[in-house]
Amino acid sequence: MAGLAEPRPMPAPTPKPNRTKTTAKTAAKPAVANAAGNKPQPAAAKPATRPLGGTISGQPFKPDVIEYHRGYLVLREGPMDKPKHEIRLVVPHESWELPTNKELESGMFSSAEISLVANGSDSRLLSNGIDMNLKFGPATSDTVAGVLKLESKDHHLSVHGAFTAAVSGFRTVNGEPVLTSDANETLMVVALKHLITKEPDKAISNVAYRDASFRPANKPQRGSLIMEYAVNNKDVSRNFQFRKTSKGWQVSKMSAEK
């Protein structure tokens, strides 16, 4: 413009000595637009599966007890001796093995394997008109997770959602016994393993067990049983004492029965 002096050019920057080690940064790749030329949108998060619940005979159903015991999956609302609502499924699976990562559908259950208590009525079997999908996920030694969808217009039943069932009774996970379970069979397994370890050269046969007990009954930390077996056609009887540790039941003493 008239009346203004031309600006002087800025001197070229003088490079300074590089005193520190630098790491080259990789430029982020540009986002790829979709076919319509719009900016890419972030993937929508999958909706979380809601907790198990629904309706039975038109009444809300929200189980306060969900348990898995030796092949039975029980969903119960109310006291055990007289529940308000209860669904009991006999899972077609090895009764001792926890059914991890297993999917079951209606056709896999027989008419004698699904029973229902509605509004405090007597238990009845559901033999037809059932649409069901049951997926078991991962398990720990004491719980098994899953998702259930159970629908029946004939029986006025609609229950679905995710659950974590408490596991009780003797059980195995991937074929291995869970030694923390408070069950007679657990003591039997532990006793037999202990006997084989202590007397590996003896041919043991005709093994039987009796008088298994736990102390105290509500939260056992001690246990006992008597094992009877034969070695070279000779009858032997052993008394086993057990204690429970963080790793499960262990033999604390093995002695001849008095």
User: 21 in a domain, yes or no?
Assistant: no
User: 14 in a domain, yes or no?
Assistant: no
**Domain end (from 136, 168, 200):** 168
Structural domains counted in the chain: 2
pLDDT of res. 41: 55
pTM listed for this prediction:
0.72
Based on the domain organization, do 155 and 195 belong to the same domain? no
User: 115 in a domain, yes or no?
Assistant: yes
Judge contact between 114 and 88, C-beta under 8 A.
yes
User: 13 in a domain, yes or no?
Assistant: no
pLDDT of res. 30: 47
pLDDT of res. 107: 75
pLDDT of res. 245: 95
Based on the domain organization, do 164 and 190 belong to the same domain? no
Q: Any idea what the Cα angle at residue 224 is, between residues 219 and 226, rounded to 5°? A: 155
User: 68 in a domain, yes or no?
Assistant: yes
User: 35 in a domain, yes or no?
Assistant: no
**Domain end (from 116, 133, 168):** 168
Judge contact between 96 and 70, C-beta under 8 A.
yes
Based on the domain organization, do 57 and 164 belong to the same domain? yes
pLDDT of res. 83: 94
pLDDT of res. 140: 85
Based on the domain organization, do 159 and 88 belong to the same domain? yes
User: 7 in a domain, yes or no?
Assistant: no
User: 12 in a domain, yes or no?
Assistant: no
> Structure tokens of 250?
């262990």
Judge contact between 98 and 172, C-beta under 8 A.
yes
CATH at 206: 3.10.450.630
pLDDT of res. 40: 53
Full domain range(s) for residue 148: 53-168
pLDDT of res. 86: 95
**Domain end (from 122, 145, 168):** 168
How far is residue 80 from each of residues 70, 74, 75, 101, measured CA to CA in Å?
Answer: 17, 10, 10, 28
Based on the domain organization, do 81 and 142 belong to the same domain? yes
Dmax of the chain from CA atoms? 126
b/e for 18-49, b at 16 or more Cβ within 10 A?
A: eeeeeeeeeeeeeeeeeeeeeeeeeeeeeeee
Mean pLDDT, contiguous 10-residue spans, the chain (258 residues): 40 43 46 50 55 94 95 94 93 87 80 80 83 91 92 92 95 91 96 95 94 92 96 94 96 89
